[in-house]
Amino acid sequence: MISAGASIPPSPAVGVAPQPYVDPVRADALRQRGRRNGMLATASTVVVFAVLALILVSSPGWSAVRETFFNGADFRASAPDILRAFLLNIKIFLIAEPCILVLALIIALMRGLRGPVFLPLRIAAAVWTDVFRGIPTILLMFLFGFGIPALRISGLTNSVLVWGTVALICSYSAYVAEVYRAGIDSVHPSQQAAARSLGLSGAQTMRFVVLPQAVRRVVPPLINDFISLQKDTALIAVLGPIEALRAAQIYASFNFNYTSYVVAALLFIALTIPLARFTDRLLARDRQRQLAGGAG
Amino acid sequence: MSHRARSRAVVAAFGVALLALTACGVEEAPTTTVAPSGSSLDCSLANLPLRTAGTLTIGTDSPAYPPYFEDDDPTNGKGFESAVAYALAQNLGFTKEQVKWVVVPFNSSYAPGTKNFDFDINQISTLPERREAVDFSDGYYAVQQAVIAVNGTPGTAATGIADLKGLKLGAQVGTTSLKYITDTVQPSSSPSVYDDTNAAVQALQNGNIDGVVVDLPTAFYLTAAVMDDGKVVGAFPAGQGSEEFGLLFEKGSALVPCVNNALALLESQGTLAQITEQYLGGEAGVPTLS
């Protein structure tokens, strides 16, 4: 198989890198500098955040802001309802995300087809991305959630949950298709030429040579879109269902206190951080592999 | 703090200057201004702690819906709340030209910090929880909640609160209507919540929900002017701790006592009852849900 780092000449001893000689005096100096750097980093971090916290807490409006945004009693009172509503966000996300990944890949592949017969497919893919990326997602929500049931076509579901999720899938598949396309375009043409010269068909080249490299390269932007989608599941609230942000708004508008929004934000962050760290790990692994001369 | 004190002084200086000007000018002050009740409360125009001296700045949301406002224009004096606002302004000693309107979305009306209005009039219910964030005037309208449904659907058959339990109900976010659903009706399926009544009506007409809970004047407006086949199913009994609309002020606003005086005067003059009858009248004949 032709791997991502094939163009880099492999290093002579992959995996068993020889330990270079280090002068013990120099090593000691390096260790000391390392310790000093660590202390400096800690000190500067503490000072910077302490100053920021002081500015925040000593500002004239802080007590009012704390009362309206960070109120413990309101936090406890609003959390159960918001947490329950948050399950709906997760559900929508889990259903929408796989559909988006598949649909977007199909659109990206359609867009990349060569040959005059495929022009209609290329046009369809281009129109899909242009239209669904251009329309504000909230309008798509209204169009699908209120517009389609209003047509009164028999046999079609009336559920705003279904149509709201479909709106999200349409919108995000347009974005993700472009991410895929960027990944596919980033694979060097020599890879395809090499694959074809080995006797692989066009489809096989795409499946076994281009896509594996393309997808690996676009994992970070893909995760970016996942995270964005997690938050945009809140848009389904315009159609009636109570999700986390709406539950927060209900609490806020009854009690004239914004703390409930902070509760919702923390839930979204709690969902986002593991994904972000996961991306970091993937990226680090990929870098390691490339530095190792394409042995991965 | 010193900054605020200084701006107060500036406002006061403006007020004095304005007083001097009006004293020299033609006497055209309304005859029925709020008389200072007791020695401690001075509600003369020059003494009112206003956002902008000599101008009464009133906030409301946009769009401003009937029957509380007409043609989405609070400045025309038409619609219940616009009429109340101008009558109040007159009682406080303002001319129509001295009243300025600003757009205040409901969700930002209770944000901490200084407000850009003297008071906000936007069908805001004076709930006790809300008093921790803002101040309210006395109530100017005792509001009742009602259910609307599409003619011929199960919702219209309801005669009591118990009949509503099995229905899918909707309401606008931030309204006490939603609280009525969750606390009083306690339906078997969770309510649907919308950004505005228009979205709720759309969902009702699409058959996503069986009924919408709104305040009674809005129920009449929606069924008469917005929906083709809408019906006011019934009103909820006023019951415990009846709900009132009040004007919203910045927490600790010194304007509240004077506005309350003006409001009391409006009531004793019979003006408030007359405005209510003019814009929100014709509510008779609605069955009360038992």
Query: Do A126 and A174 contact (CB within 8 A), yes or no?
Result: no
Rounded distance between C-alpha atoms, residue A269 and residue B187, angstroms: 33
Q: What is the pLDDT of residues A206-222, one digit of tens each?
A: 999 999 999 988 988 99
Q: Among B192, B197, B204, B227, which would you mutate to test the A interface (most chain A Cβ atoms within 10 Å of its Cβ)?
A: B192
Does the model's pTM come out above 0.80?
no
Asked if residue B169 lies in contact with residue B185, where contact means CB atoms within 8 angstroms, the answer is yes
Average pLDDT over all residues of chain A? 88
pLDDT in tens, B171-214: 999 888 998 898 888 999 889 999 988 899 999 998 899 999 99
Taking residues B132-149, report their average pLDDT.
91
Q: A150 vs B190: CB contact, 8 Å cut-off?
A: no
- Across the interface, whether the CB atoms of A64 and B112 are under 8 A apart is answered yes
Q: What is the pLDDT of residue B9?
A: 47
Most confident of the following: A54-58, A140-144, B154-158: A140-144
Query: Would you call B248 helix, strand, or coil by DSSP?
Result: strand
Average confidence (pLDDT) over B62-76: 91
Assess A162–B contact: CB distance below 8 Å, yes or no.
no
Residues B135, B167: Cα–Cα separation, whole Å: 36
Selection from A99-103, A155-159, B45-49 with the highest mean pLDDT: A99-103
The residue in chain B having the minimum alpha-carbon distance to the alpha carbon of residue A151 is: B206
> With an 8 Å Cβ cutoff, is B186 touching chain A?
no
**Quick one: closest CA in B to A150, which residue?**
B206
Cβ neighbours of A148 in B, within 8 Å: none
Q: How distant is the Cα of A239 from the closest Cα of chain B, in angstroms?
A: 7
Please report, for residues A13, A266, B195, the alpha-carbon distance to residue A259 in angstroms, rounded to integers and kept in the order given: 58, 11, 20
Q: Which residue of A has its CA nearest to B206?
A: A150
Of B112, B190, B209, the CB nearest to A242: B190
- B31 and A90 Cβ atoms separated by less than 8 Å: no
CA–CA distance, A249 with A243 (Å, rounded to integer): 10
- Does A241 score more than 50 pLDDT? yes
Mean pLDDT of all residues in B13-22 = 43
Nearest chain B residue (CA) to A160:
B208
User: Which pLDDT belongs to residue A284?
Assistant: 87
pLDDT over 80 (residue A237)? yes
pLDDT of residue B161: 87
Contact B193 A253 (CB under 8 A): no
* Cross-strand partners of B249: B135
Per-residue pLDDT at B94: 92
Please report, rounded to a whole number, the percentage of residues in chain B having pLDDT higher than 70. 84
Which one of B111, B192, B207 has the shortest CB-CB distance to A240? Answer: B192
Partner A contacted by B193 (CB < 8 A)? yes
Give φ, ψ of A218 to 5 degrees.
-100, 15
Q: Is pLDDT at A199 greater than 90 in this prediction?
A: yes
